[in-house]
Amino acid sequence: MTTTITIANQKGGVGKTTIAVNLAHGLVQRGKRVLLVDFDPQGQCATILGLKPESGTFNLLVAESPLPQVIRSTDRKNLFVVLGDRKTATAQTVLNVQRTPINFTHQKLVGPAADDKIDYIVIDTSPSVGELQEQALWAADGVLIPCAVDYLATDGVFNIAVTLKRIHDEFKWQGRILGILPTFYDAITRESRATLKDLQNRFSGLLLPAIHRATVLRECAVEGKTIFELAPESRAAQQYNELVDFVLNWSKSPR
């Protein structure tokens, strides 16, 4: 069975892409076949993996290319990608104008990926709202909401929660919030500690262990490597491994 996980927060720079790429590669390390899909016009999933952005998402959703035509293998065995680039912004506009049904992305992506024996689809989204983001949320079995533990961190989480409630009520979304993942945590700063506490109070049942601020994650992006390649012994790698454990367990539980 294929499990689809969408990484979403309308707030920018909260660690979405870093999480999408490292979660995808972490699942691969546990023997899973994983498809990483970039729904962000910034095309950064490619950059973090040391690849060149391309118009896979646009071709899938607008040019109507079937999934096998836009899927790419990577140097990492069992890690497959549908890459994005600036044309994804055009896809966003076209989908908004055409008012495609909310299950369109699910149809184009999930069924064909299951045929290809993909265990996990991980969708990275952009920091904006629109048809593309909503379709990515609707396609998800689980939505992972990263949240940088800084000022106004909870606003982004609330916004996504409101959108999810709406697509559940209006369009019978069947998925769940997989978890809220605090990122950029820095135990030394009072702001980090206070924000984490606030998140714990508001979302206790959904809050996952925090990913700490770690310069090595920035270096990964520069080097085009995942944390498991660049620094497998680091605390960041350990924290990502814990996230992978959580996701593996979560996807075993009944929907």
Ligand X SMILES: Nc1ncnc2c1ncn2[C@@H]1O[C@H](COP(=O)(O)OP(=O)(O)OP(=O)(O)O)[C@@H](O)[C@H]1O
Q: Which value, to the nearest 10 degrees, does the dihedral of the CA atoms of residues 22, 26, 32, 37 take?
A: 0
Which partner in ligand X, Mg ion, none is near 41 (CB below 5 to 8 A by kind)? Answer: none
Binding residue for Mg ion (CB under 5 A) from 2, 17, 195, 251? 17
Rounded to whole angstroms, the Cα distance separating 15 from 25 reads 15
CB of 197 to ligand X, least distance (A): 19
Residues 23 and 243 sit within 8 Å (Cβ to Cβ): yes
Q: Using CB under 6 A, list all residues that contact ligand X.
A: 12-18, 40, 42, 44, 126-127, 183-184, 211, 213-214, 217-218, 221
Nearer to ligand X, 33 or 193 (CB): 193
CB atoms within 10 A of CB 246: 17
Q: Which does 172 bind (CB under 5 to 8 A by kind): Mg ion, ligand X, none?
A: none
Q: How far is the CB of 162 from Mg ion (least distance, A)?
A: 21
Residue 11 binds to Mg ion (criterion: CB under 5 A): no
| Count of chain residues binding Mg ion (CB under 5 A) | 2
Phi, psi for 85 (deg, rounded to 5): -155, -165
Q: Min. distance of Cβ 92 from ligand X in angstroms?
A: 14
Contact of residue 218 among Mg ion, ligand X, none (CB under 5-8 Å per partner type) = ligand X
Which of ligand X, Mg ion, none binds 133 (CB below 5-8 Å, type-dependent)?
A: none
Residue 53: phi and psi, rounded to 5, are -55, 150
16 is a site residue for Mg ion (CB under 5 A): yes
H helix and E strand count, the chain: 12, 7
Q: What is d(CA 131, CA 245) in angstroms, rounded to the nearest whole number?
A: 31
CA–CA distance, 66 with 41 (Å, rounded to integer): 20
CB of 227 to Mg ion, least distance (A): 16
Q: How many angstroms separate the CA atoms of 35 and 19, rounded?
A: 14
Closest CB to ligand X among residues 44, 92: 44
Which spans of this chain sit near Mg ion (rule: CB under 5 A)? 16-17
